[in-house]
């Protein structure tokens, strides 16, 4: 998975990573940045005491796509649903609705800060119902 | 705008990027990151690869975060990225150099440096010093910023190749520290000699 290179003397130097390896490291880095989907999902994992693997299974997404998905910046506030759905489609998420709801929950949690787990769940699903009525303010 | 050898985002991608579209931002990073990172590794061979990678990551993350700052009408996307990268990598290079010099010179080095007379000017008689100062001032007016900084180092009798390389890095890339510094110094000396002749100074005035 690496590309060898040579210096001027023809001696081998440290191997350069492939595009895939380079991008993999970027995904890991970007997922840890504030404002990324990874940081939102991490917040929720912490609150819900879930592992990354559990989330991945819930969304029905491959490991590679999950890494890519988490590296992306969170959906824009004024286009949250459409952005989230486009991201889900680009990353081949099986459970799109669940992913969008989870992201919404995480966003609310990040914005509001301190509510208990039960309250957060209710708030998210209330918000989702009002979204469908077109009454949510974002 | 200049052509580029790097892959460039389409105008549609750039328009969406400027609206903060997270999916398009990711597409653009995936498009440009591998080639830009390889370029940085090649240009900054003296820096640790992991450190260069960290800086590239930081710069791209910042660009994606502050997406409105990039104006596609002014420069190509990769030119913008590389412009920011050069500044950051020069800082990294300077930090690295400072660490290396501290390690090489030991704890007493700074005290010794402070005790050195500036430009050894006290050793010169007053007339010679005035001629030198006047000459240097006139020369500096004809030098580019990078040359001026190199010239200052030479006047201060700095011997460290790394100190010269750090200046070169701030103004561009350095692929071979020894060679690039040697060439820059030689070019500068030729230019200074030429300026001296043009201004009517004889070589013996500057001894």
The 10s digit of each residue's pLDDT in B129-153 is 676 777 787 788 778 888 888 888 8
- The percentage of chain B sitting over the pLDDT mark of 90, rounded to a whole number, equals 35
Q: CA-to-CA distance for A71 and A31, rounded, in angstroms?
A: 4
Task: Tell which of B6, B27, B61 to mutate to test the A interface (max A CBs under 10 Å).
Answer: B61
**Contact of B154 with B188, CB cutoff 8 Å:** yes
Higher pLDDT, B25 or B107: B25
Averaged confidence pLDDT in chain A: 81
Compute the nearest-CA separation of B159 from chain A (Å).
27
Site from A22, A65, A71, A89 to mutate, B interface, most B CB atoms within 10 angstroms: A22
> What DSSP element (H or E) covers A2?
strand A2-3
Residue B75 predicted with pLDDT over 80: yes
Q: Coil, helix or strand for A137?
A: coil
- Name chain A contacts of B34, Cβ cutoff 8 Å: 19, 22-23
| pLDDT, position B1 | 63
For B52-67, letters b (16+ CB in 10 Å) and e give bbebbbebbbebbeeb
Closest Cβ opposite residue A87 in set B20, B22, B65: B22
CA torsion B43→B47→B50→B56, rounded to 10°?
Answer: -50
Distance, CA of B33 to CA of B52 (rounded, Å): 12
How many contacts does A have with B, using Cβ atoms within 8 A?
51
Q: B57 at the A interface (CB within 8 A)?
A: yes
Position A7 scores a pLDDT of 42
All residue ranges of chain A with pLDDT < 50 are 1-12, 114-123, 125-138
Question: Rounded distance, CA A115 to CA A102, Å?
Answer: 16
Question: Which residues, in sequence order, are bridge partners of residue A73?
Answer: A36
- Selected residues 1-40 of chain B with any CB under 8 Å from a CB in chain A: 20-23, 25-26, 29-30, 33-34, 37-38
Query: What's the rounded Cα separation, in Å, for the pair A13 and B118?
Result: 43
Tell me the per-residue pLDDT of B76-128, one tens digit each, with 9 for 90 and over. Answer: 999 999 999 998 988 888 877 777 766 666 555 545 544 444 555 555 566 66
Compute the average pLDDT of residues B189-205.
70
Instruction: Burial-class residue A12 by CB neighbours within 10 Å (0-12, 13-18, 19+).
Output: exposed
CB atoms within 10 A of CB B201: 17
Under DSSP, is residue A17 helix (H, G, I), strand (E, B) or coil?
Answer: strand
Residue B205 makes CB contacts below 8 A (sequence gap 6+) with B131, B135
What pLDDT is stored for residue B163 in this prediction?
82
Can you give the pLDDT at residue B167?
83
Report the C-alpha gap between A109 and A124 in whole angstroms: 9
Only one residue has tokens 């990353």, namely A91
Nearest to B23 among A22, A25, A90 (CB): A90
Find the closest chain B residue to A79 by CA distance.
Answer: B21
B contacts of A6 (beta carbons < 8 Å): none
DSSP B43-95: HTTTS-HHHHHHHHHHHHHHHHHTGGG--TTTS-HHHHHHHHHHHHHHHHHHH
B3 band by pLDDT with thresholds 50, 70 and 90: confident
- ipTM confidence score: 0.73
pLDDT value for B182:
84
> Cβ contact (<8 Å) for B34 and A76?
no
Q: Does B48 touch chain A (CB under 8 A)?
A: no
User: Which residue did the predictor score with more confidence, A53 or B191?
Assistant: A53
| Cα B90 from Cα B162, distance rounded (Å) | 12
Q: Answer whether A71 sits within 8 Å of B60, measured CB to CB.
A: no
Please state the domain extents for chain B.
11-95, 116-206
User: Which pLDDT belongs to residue B132?
Assistant: 72
| Segment among A17-21, B44-48, B50-54 with least mean pLDDT | B44-48
* pLDDT at position B177 over 70: yes
Per the CB < 8 Å rule, is B22 touching A74?
A: yes
pLDDT of the residue at B108: 57
For chain B, what is the mean pLDDT? Answer: 81
């Amino acid at each position: 998975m690496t590309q060898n290179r040579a210096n001027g003397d023809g001696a081998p130097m440290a191997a350069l990573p492939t595009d895939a390896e380079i991008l993999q490291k970027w995904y890991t880095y970007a997922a840890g940045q504030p404002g990324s989907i990874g940081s939102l999902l991490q917040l929720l994992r912490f609150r819900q005491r879930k592992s990354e693997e559990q989330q991945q299974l819930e969304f029905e997404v491959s490991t590679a796509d999950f890494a890519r998905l988490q590296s992306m910046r969170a959906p824009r506030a004024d286009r949250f649903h459409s952005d989230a759905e486009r991201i889900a489609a680009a990353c081949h998420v099986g459970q799109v609705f669940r992913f969008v709801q989870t992201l919404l929950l995480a966003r609310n949690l990040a914005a509001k800060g301190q509510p208990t787990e039960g309250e957060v769940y209710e708030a998210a699903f209330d918000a989702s119902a009002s979204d469908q009525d077109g009454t949510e303010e974002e | 705008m200049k052509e580029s050898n790097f892959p460039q985002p389409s105008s549609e991608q750039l328009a969406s990027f400027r609206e903060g579209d997270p999916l398009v931002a990711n597409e653009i990073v995936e498009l440009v990151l591998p080639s830009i990172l390889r370029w940085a590794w090649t240009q900054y061979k003296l820096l640790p690869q992991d450190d260069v990678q960290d800086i590239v990551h930081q710069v791209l993350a910042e660009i994606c975060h502050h997406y409105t700052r990039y104006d596609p009408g002014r420069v190509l996307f990769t030119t913008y990225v590389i412009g920011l990268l050069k500044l950051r990598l020069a800082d990294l290079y300077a930090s690295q150099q400072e660490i290396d010099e501290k390690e090489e010179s030991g704890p007493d080095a700074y005290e010794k440096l402070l005790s050195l007379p500036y430009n050894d000017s006290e050793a010169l008689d007053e007339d010679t010093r005035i001629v030198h100062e006047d000459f240097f001032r006139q020369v500096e007016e004809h030098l580019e910023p990078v040359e001026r900084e190199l010239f200052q180092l030479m006047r201060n009798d700095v011997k460290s190749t790394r100190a010269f390389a750090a200046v070169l890095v701030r103004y561009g890339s350095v692929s071979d520290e020894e060679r690039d510094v040697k060439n820059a110094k030689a070019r500068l000396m030729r230019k200074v000699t030429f300026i001296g002749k043009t201004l009517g100074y004889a070589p013996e005035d500057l001894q």
